[in-house]
């Protein structure tokens, strides 16, 4: 049975400094610099420019792992995301979601989900909700309370699904 890396969720502590450098085995070096309104710009070798935002809802790490597992299963089964669509995957009171602002976009790579989760936990805190918008890829990965809104900035969505 395939078990995605996201099931091995690790806590990341964030200090109150405005810049944090992160380096780990098999991951790019990431520079995190504060900008405005609890949003952070990051640069890495996997995405030239990304933005992290925190919504600060408590989320259950076990439910989140299962929601991400459902997302990966959905993405593998259904192929690339259609343009201008949003999808959410709910487990318990927690959801993982992806918003596609561009053309067809893949979402089945576990490393993309893991990187988004790592960046969110680094900036927002373990067990806290947030999102990562990757401008080069024109998509957002997010993690939040199941009752929260998601992808609200997606103008004129052409599709929406829940799995």
Q: In what order do the strands lie in the sheet with 19-22?
A: 19-22, 30-34, 39-43, 50-58, 128-134, 139-145, 94-100, 85-91, 159-162
Residues 28, 125: Cα–Cα separation, whole Å: 20
Task: Say if 8 falls within a structural domain.
Answer: no
Residue 81 within a domain: yes
**Is the residue at 108 inside a domain?**
yes
Q: What is the rounded average pLDDT for all residues in the chain?
A: 74
The verdict on residue 39 lying in a domain is: yes
The predicted model scores a pTM of: 0.69
In a domain, 125, yes or no: yes
Range in 48-52, 132-136, 154-158 the model is least confident about: 154-158
Residue with the larger pLDDT of the pair 55 and 50: 55
DSSP string, 16-70: S-SEEEE--TTS--EEEEE-STTEEEEE-SS-S-EEEEEEEEE--HHHHHHHHHH
pLDDT band at 41 (very low <50, low <70, confident <90, very high): very low
Q: What is the pLDDT of residues 104-136, one digit of tens each?
A: 889 989 999 999 999 999 999 999 999 999 988
Domain that holds residue 132: 18-162
Higher pLDDT, 82 or 63: 63
Q: Scan for tokens 């957002």, then name that residue.
A: 140
pLDDT digits (tens, 9 = 90+) for 2-20: 333 333 232 222 222 222 3
Determine, yes or no, domain membership for 7.
Answer: no
Considering its fold, how many domains does the chain have in total?
1
Q: What does the pLDDT read at residue 39?
A: 41
For residue 84, give every residue at least 6 positions away whose Cβ sits within 8 Å of its Cβ, in sequence order, or none.
100, 101, 102, 154, 156, 157, 158, 159
Q: Tell me, yes or no, whether 2 lies in a domain.
A: no
Structural domain includes residue 87 = yes
Looking at residue 139, its pLDDT comes to: 93
């Amino acid at each position: 049975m395939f078990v995605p890396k996201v099931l091995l969720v690790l806590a990341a502590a964030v200090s109150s400094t405005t810049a944090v450098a992160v380096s780990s085995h098999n991951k790019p070096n990431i520079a995190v610099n504060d900008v405005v309104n609890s949003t952070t710009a990051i640069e890495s070798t996997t995405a030239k420019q990304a933005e992290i935002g925190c919504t600060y809802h408590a989320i259950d790490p076990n439910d989140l792992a299962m929601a991400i597992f459902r997302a990966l299963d959905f993405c593998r089964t259904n192929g690339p995301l259609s343009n201008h669509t949003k999808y959410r995957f709910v487990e318990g009171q927690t959801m993982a979601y992806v918003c596609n602002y561009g053309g067809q976009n893949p979402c089945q790579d576990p490393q993309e989900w893991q990187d988004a989760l790592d960046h969110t936990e680094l900036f927002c805190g373990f067990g806290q909700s947030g999102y990562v918008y990757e401008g080069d890829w024109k998509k957002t990965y997010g993690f939040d309370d199941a009752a929260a809104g998601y992808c609200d900035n997606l103008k004129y969505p052409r599709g929406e699904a829940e799995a």
